[in-house]
Amino acid sequence: MVTRYHLLKNCSTFYRLTQMRYGEWLRPYSLGAGQQYFLSHIAAYPGASMAELAVDGAYDNGTVTRAVKKLEENGYIRIEPDARDHRAKKLYPTEKGEAMLEPIRTMRSAWFAEVTEGFSEEEKKQLGALMARLADNARRCLEREQQNGEPRSYDHSAEALP
């Protein structure tokens, strides 16, 4: 019998439920669930570019552009031209953006505590390490395919699917 782990289904469900919860908590601040990631990254790396945001989070350029635009419109970040490359822009948190960092950290910590209820500290560490390895493996796989110029072909039979 084939063992099916439903990893992608479970990851997708967890992601969607997290986005829903974050969206509820952030609505009063005119922030979307996805924008909190960008604001946190910009605050941690002042002067980051949109390209850096895209690479770090594996986001497409359109997603980054929309999030940055909304953050700027709501006064959470400011955008400055890059002195060395006038096509690029540097991103900085505003005072309003900096003031949101603690509520975002509190929100994330509360959610993590809820979703890992009943987990031991060791299980939490293992989960984090395994998810990081999965993401790193996926990133490397796609980078290899981009270097080779074509996606890898797979056996599409039902027996081959995990």
Q: Over the stretch 79-97, which tens digit does the pLDDT of each residue have?
A: 999 888 888 899 999 999 9
78/47 Cα distance (integer angstroms)? 10
25/51 Cα distance (integer angstroms)? 28
Q: Are residues 73 and 40 in the same domain?
A: yes
Model pLDDT, residue 3: 58
Strand partners, 93: 77
Q: Are residues 68 and 133 in the same domain?
A: no
The answer to whether residue 59 scores a pLDDT higher than 60 is yes
Provide the residue range defining the domain that includes 140. Answer: 118-148
Between 58 and 75, where is the model more confident? 75
Would residue 39 count as lying in a domain? yes
Residue 59: give its domain's CATH number.
1.10.10.10
